């Protein structure tokens, strides 16, 4: 089911004297209380995907590329061959999915609304500047890994990936904990729903029917190539 279909399900809205009080409990209309039918199991599972949730799960894509970069840095520092092709593929996902899609959504739909409302006016310019610096680093990483990496370029490649990681870890953390929650304070519910539909339409326009799921599949393939797909390997022995 597409997200727009999920969003067509009834939502709890205060409307005049009609107030919904929970699911399958009571609906008060005026002074009368009448039973509210419980949703079917199918309806109960169809929860709308909100714009902040959409943006946060896209940050999961970013985090997984940061792990790919970390593995590249580890191999370079250990004197191992540079995994140029997997690193190039990871940087390609950063370019197309994060920079040209995710960050464009933020810069077009999220940041202007916050600034207009007088919120986070000191933070938003920094986030935009970091987007710009990130694109420079991504271009360097893509250029260096487009072919087998020469020995003299290994150090610069590791430095560019490290700089990208260092900037984007606090960047995404600040957005997840401050910026995206603030969206609810400045965007009315109706526009919130419309924004969710806009995000989904753009996602499928750019990445086809598979959308986000297809990008996650690409990440998994890169991780398997590098031997970092097995989640259990990151569990410490204590």
pLDDT digits (tens, 9 = 90+) for 165-221: 999 999 999 999 999 999 999 999 889 889 999 999 999 999 999 999 999 999 999
Contact 168, 62 (CB under 8 A): yes
For the chain, the structural domain boundaries read 3-45, 51-228
Split at pLDDT 50, 70, 90, the class of 35 is: low
Other C-beta atoms lying within 10 Å of the C-beta of residue 66 = 19
Which of the residue ranges 36-40, 103-107, 167-171 would you say has the lowest mean pLDDT?
36-40
**In sequence order, which ranges of the chain are alpha helices (DSSP H)?**
3-6, 41-45, 51-77, 84-93, 103-105, 111-116, 124-145, 154-174, 180-186, 189-207, 211-226
Q: How far is Cα 15 from Cα 19, in angstroms, rounded to an integer?
A: 7
Q: What is the mean pLDDT of residues 146-164?
A: 93
pLDDT exceeds 90 at position 18: no
So what CATH class is 51-228? mainly alpha
Model pLDDT, residue 34: 47
Nearest Cα residue to 11 out of 157, 144, 136, 192: 192
Split at pLDDT 50, 70, 90, the class of 46 is: low
Split at pLDDT 50, 70, 90, the class of 32 is: very low
């Amino acid at each position: 089911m597409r997200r727009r279909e999920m969003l067509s399900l009834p939502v709890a809205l205060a409307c005049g004297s009609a107030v919904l009080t929970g699911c399958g409990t009571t609906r008060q209309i005026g002074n009368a209380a009448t039973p509210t039918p419980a949703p079917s199991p199918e309806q109960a599972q169809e929860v709308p995907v909100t714009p902040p949730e959409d943006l946060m799960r896209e940050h999961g894509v970013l985090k997984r590329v940061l792990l790919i970069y970390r593995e590249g840095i580890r191999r370079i520092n250990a004197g191992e061959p540079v995994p140029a092709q997997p690193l190039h593929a990871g940087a390609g996902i950063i370019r197309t999915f994060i920079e040209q899609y995710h960050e464009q959504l933020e810069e077009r739909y999220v940041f202007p609304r916050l600034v207009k409302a007088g919120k986070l006016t000191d933070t938003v310019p920094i986030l935009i500047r970091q987007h710009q610096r990130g694109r420079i680093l991504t271009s360097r990483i893509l250029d260096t890994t487009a072919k087998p990496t020469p020995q003299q370029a290994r150090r610069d490649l590791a430095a560019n990936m490290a700089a990208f990681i260092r900037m984007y870890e606090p960047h995404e953390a600040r957005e997840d904990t401050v910026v995206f929650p603030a969206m609810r304070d400045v965007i009315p519910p109706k526009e919130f729903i419309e924004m969710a539909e806009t995000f989904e339409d753009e996602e499928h326009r750019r990445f086809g029917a598979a959308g986000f799921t297809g990008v996650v599949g690409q990440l998994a393939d890169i991780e398997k190539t590098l031997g970092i797909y097995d989640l259990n390997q990151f569990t410490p022995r204590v």
